[in-house]
Amino acid sequence: MNRRQFVTSSLAAAGATLLGSDAHIAAADQIPGSVPSSAVQQARFPEGFLWGTATAAYQVEGAWKEDGKGESIWDKFTHTVGKVKGGTTGDVACDQYNLCAQDMALAKRLNQKSYRFSISWPRVQPSGTGAPNVKGMDHYSRLVDVMLENGVRPFCTIYHWDLPQALEDRGGWPNRDLASYYADYAGILAKYLGDRVTVWAPFNMPWSFTYMGYGVGTFPPCRAHFGDFLKAAHTVTLAQAEALRSIKAASSKATVGSAYGMCPAYPKTDSEADRAAAARYHAMNNVFFLEAAMKGHYPKAFVGEPPYELMGFKPGDEKIMHAPLDWVGFHYYTRRIVSDASNAHAFGGGSFGGTEIEIDPAGGRDPYTRFRAVMPTEGPLTESGLEVWPRGIYDLVTQISREYDHPIIEITESGCGYLDAPYDKENGRVPDARRIEFFREELAELARAIADGARVRAFHAWSLIDNFEWANGHTERYGLIYVDYRDQKRTIKDSGFWYGRVSASNRLDV
Ligand code: IFM
């Protein structure tokens, strides 16, 4: 066994112990982490499985100041010179504000049964509070109708990072008042759309936008203070629960779940300290908001007691934050190897090198969670720099199933960034074979989790179309459909056609 194979096997074994999964170690002659082709051929998904795709308002809509929309923190950020790679903005993005009928027809063509979209808060309430902007609501009403006309289930994410700038000017998420402003906003959406939308997720990746925006400042509003991150996270926890109640009060058909970003955490070594650090990572990065909603308390993310004072926690908050979800939604992109940093004296806070990667300094991320988490590079990397590790989805899904008493699960995002473009020699086709391989292997692992009892009912590929990739601008492409930003022409990639066949047949060898 060579070093690479040895490392792969040891990490897989350490991970399998922590996560309690069946060992499923790639054959030594394969790319580390890859799935045998027999598993792909045998994989089957249940009848009625909801195949879908996901997008987010700021990344696809454009129309940044049309029809009365207010400014968001992302408008301000992208309009600031030097913030976005390549200097592009989401001002036009994919122009889905105007092209939604065409995009939903494409979704139908790919046999899609679910579309996870998000709503731009400043389009609905330009300054974050007060009466709704009728033109903004009309747009989302039209979008929902066009989905239903195409046989696509509308799955609404209420907040995917584009806070009204006016609310940031009032203190942003560290200001606890935002919980009730947000609950009002969620109630407005449920009142106007709740006759047709039954599936709601309050926040996309709450850890990411609070940590990146307030803890390390690589996302807007670019604040870098761990205490602000903790306060923001606590407001979001309260907001999530208040929103669940206001949505249900406004729509009797509503079901509320989540769209959390999660990475399975494998301890670096089998030592007790590293295993405990991996458990803290899981508590902080994966289930912080889930545990709060389901159980009314925070999980053990910190060494010792949670820093309640720093978080702005008040007596009685346990009751407010307790709002059990109807189903659990989370994303899977890649994994983490976690080690203990209890004895570190220097903490760096971490920085950001791509949407899903937080690069920790040698010591540890912060003096409260005291762990160090890195993305390994044993498996191949996508062009966006994330390690491809298909079995991670099996480990994550089975772990969440075990920990939360086998809830209904929706995979709210998964995907890979590759820059393949229309190819003249292939008559304009986009032969993105690596994306097909990525989904084929990952979905085989998801099918294995379902076969082992996980109640997964939906999978949403990120993304239906190429779109604006936040601080990385247009330098990354995640779509099943290629977008030419010069004229907004859409071209279905080979992966899109493949995913369409998978959606129609519930199998992967198509
Ligand atoms: O584009 C993002 C999305 O907004 C949130 N999840 C990860 C995607 C790819 O980086």
Domain 3-20+47-215+225-329+390-505 coded CATH 3.40.50.720:
no
Banded pLDDT at 348 (limits 50, 70, 90) = low
- At residue 186, the pLDDT reads 99
Among 478, 480, 483, the mutation site with the greatest number of ligand 1 atoms within 8 A of its Cβ is: 478
pLDDT at position 364 is 85
How many angstroms separate the CA atoms of 120 and 165, rounded?
Answer: 12
Strands 336-340 and 371-374: antiparallel
% of the chain beyond a pLDDT of 70: 92
What's the rounded Cα separation, in Å, for the pair 450 and 440? 15
Ligand 1 atom nearest 467 alpha carbon: 1
pLDDT score recorded for residue 124: 98
Tokens of 238: 């309260």
498 lines ligand 1 (CB under 6 A): no
* pTM confidence score: 0.94
* DSSP bridge partners of 117: 156
Q: Which amino acid is at 328?
A: V
- The yes-or-no verdict on residue 19 having pLDDT over 70 is no
Find out whether the beta carbon of 219 lies less than 6 Å from any atom of ligand 1. Answer: no
Of 191-200, 210-219, 364-373, give the range with the top mean pLDDT. 191-200
Q: How far is the CA of 140 from the centre of ligand 1 (A)?
A: 21
C-alpha of 124 from chain center: 22
Residue type, 405: D
The residue contributing the CA closest to ligand 1 atom 7 is: 355
Provide the pLDDT for residue 356: 62
157 lines ligand 1 (CB under 6 A): no
> Where in the chain are the domains?
3-20+47-215+225-329+390-505
Q: Is 75 in the pocket of ligand 1 (CB under 6 A)?
A: no
Task: Please give the mean pLDDT across all residues of the chain.
Answer: 93
- pLDDT for res 95: 98
pLDDT at 494 (0 to 100):
98
How many other CB atoms sit within 10 Å of the CB of residue 110? 22
User: Using a 6 Å cutoff on CB, does residue 203 contact ligand 1?
Assistant: no
What is the whole-number distance in angstroms between the Cα of residue 180 and the centre of ligand 1? 27
